[in-house]
Structure formats: structure tokens, C-alpha cells
Amino acid sequence: MSFQDIIGQEKPIAILKSAMEKGRVAHAYLFAGMSGVGKRTTAEIFARALNCREGLPDACERCPSCLKMARGNHPDRLVLKPEGQFIRIQEIRALQSQMRFRPREGAKRVFMLLDAERMNSAAANALLKTLEEPAPLNVLILISSRPHQLPLTVLSRCQTLRFAPLGRDRIASLLTERMGMDGKTAAVLAASAGGSIGKALELHKEAYLSVREDILRRAAAFRKDDPLAVLSLVEVLGREREKLLEGLGVLETWYRDMLVYRETGEPEKLIHRDCQEALKACADKMEVRDILQNVKTVQQACFAIERNANKQLTLETMLFRLVHPSS
């Protein structure tokens, strides 16, 4: 792969290419942006370009260095990721130890810290010393979808490149052109992905579309006088934390779409465009304040489950409030 294979991130790529052309590559970068928008891929290509034997501000994909990088066995490309919940100080110290030596084969040794915000305080403090006294011929790339969780002292010593979400039409085009999806499936996945091509591809691998359809069908049929039907949604949402949060995300966007419809009446702004008739029918029966309250109710349930609250109780409480938003 080369920079031309990265979609929708022209600005950060232009900055990296300009730095290479001018010989002004920073010693530390922060690649910040939501998951699945190309941060890790860009970091990999940047590492290849820095060591490419063709001497261009890109990866040629042909020279021995680029081929080794692609296979993941280049000695001057090192990836550090959390072992368990955190990146710990001993892992940062191992990185610092390797930085003392010259690159073994290439012009630069590139270190990538995945999920950099997961450094514990001791690891972040140890890394700070490296950022304050950078070793020559080393480039450090911190990759984070939650850069606000990094210490300000670390942020201030990195050059930050922001990776933007992709538009839904662009994601849909990529899914149809590169993955051969039909237009309807691509449109639904693009709308559900929230700007992340990575998430769209992940959703396509799973049974997301059928689960989404089941959740929306049941949500559209919510009635105060049929509590058992409402509670049946608990079984659809499941027990696994990640799947549960994903399902709640579908439910939240259902009420978000109701709010958008009531406030704007513009169907092109809806996430669930394929369900707009059912959505409009539901929205017309509810007050705007109740729709807004339901959005907040689902968000509160997500917040509680993320913090390991009792899933069954949280969901049952949420569903009661959804059908009685003014209670």
C-alpha cells in the first residue's frame, strides 16, 4: 500500500509528505481521530516511506525495505500495544532501550504506540522523558482515538495530525466499488458507521443488518399496554457487552432520527433512511420533549453498562422509561 490508497485523509498525508520532502520529519507525532479512519494504515505507510529505497515521499511497494515492512518483519518497524488494560512502564522502558541504537537497516526506526491513551501514569511519565530528549533517527507515532485522555505534557510535545470521519456517501461508494456490495446494503452500513470505513467493514462481517432490523422493528412497535413485547427487546440486545452497546447505539440513532425528522423534515439527514415511513409514523405520535428524553435514556443506559452496571436491570429500567418518557 501507499499514500494514494488512503481515502479521505488528504490533509494529514500532505503534511507528512511535505515533511519528508523538506527533511523536517518530527521526532514524535500524534495521529488522532475516531477508530477505523486510517490512522494505523497511514502510520504503516509513513514508516515504509521513511525507509523506502526509492527516495520518494511515499512507499514504492517494490524495494526490499517496503516488502519487509509489508510482511511485518522489518527490524526498524516496531509496534507497541496494550498488554491487558494498560501500556505499562516496563514496555516504555523497553522502547527507550531500543532507541539508544541506530536503525539496523533503514534511515529511520519507527515506533508505533497503538491506543496510546491507555498508558498508565508511570508509563506516560517515562515516555515524557523520551519526548523531551528525542533520540536521533527515531520517529515515535502515538495513535489514539481518545487523545483527550493523554496528559497535556505528552500532547504538547507531539505534532498532532487529525484524521477526520468520512462522509456517508463516500463510505457507501467505497463499499460498492471496492467490496462489490449492493447499493442498499452499502447505504445502510455507511449510515451506521458514523464516519468510519473500518466500522462499516466490521459491521458487514457480523450479523449486524439482521439484528438492526429486529431492533428497529420492535422499537417501532413499542406500546405502553404491551410490556412483554417491550421487554422482549432485552433478548434481542443480548448479553455480550460489546454487542449490547452496539444494539443500544442502534436504538439511540432511532430516536435521534425521530428528532431530526420532527425538527427538519429532511429525509437525507436520517441515519435509518430505509425505515423512514415507520420512523415518521412513530415520531408523529410523540412530543419532541419525549423523543429527546428517550435519546438521553438510551445514552444513560450505555453509560451505566460501560461502567459494568447490572445489564438486566439497566435494560429493563431503560425500556420502562422509553415507553413512559414523561413519568
Distance (Å, whole) CA 222 – CA 16:
51
Are residues 12 and 163 in contact, defined by beta-carbon separation less than 8 angstroms?
A: yes
Going residue by residue through the chain, which has 327 residues, state the pLDDT in tens, using 9 for 90 and above.
889 888 889 999 999 999 999 999 999 999 999 998 999 999 999 999 999 998 788 999 999 999 999 998 999 999 999 888 899 999 999 999 888 888 998 899 999 999 999 999 999 999 998 898 888 899 999 999 999 999 999 999 999 999 999 988 889 988 998 888 888 889 888 988 888 988 888 888 767 888 888 989 888 888 766 767 677 888 888 778 888 998 999 999 999 999 999 988 888 888 898 888 999 999 998 899 999 999 999 999 999 998 888 988 999 899 888 888 876
Are residues 185 and 171 in contact, defined by beta-carbon separation less than 8 angstroms?
A: no
Q: Which residue has the cell 490508497?
A: 5
For 3-162, CATH gives: 3.40.50.300
Amino acid, single-letter form, for residue 52: C
* Residue 24 pLDDT: 92
Give residue limits of the domains in the chain. Answer: 3-162, 206-323
Distance (Å, whole) CA 116 – CA 80:
9
For the range 227-235, what are the long-range contacts, defined as Cβ-Cβ under 8 Å and sequence gap of 24 or more? 227/323, 230/319, 230/320, 230/322, 230/323, 231/316, 231/319, 233/315, 233/319, 234/312, 234/315, 234/316, 234/319
Whole-prediction pTM value? 0.79
Distance (Å, whole) CA 230 – CA 270:
24
* Residue 208 pLDDT: 83
Sign, CA dihedral 189-192-195-197, equals negative
Distance (Å, whole) CA 28 – CA 157:
7
Range 206-323 classified under CATH 1.10.8: no
* Residue 327 pLDDT: 63
Q: How many CB atoms lie within 10 A of CB 234?
A: 17
Examine domains 3-162 and 206-323 and report if their fold is the same: no
What SS3 state is found at 164? coil
pLDDT, tens digit, 9 for 90 and up, residues 116-141: 999 999 999 999 988 988 888 999 99
Nearest to 164 by CA among 7, 323, 2, 317: 7
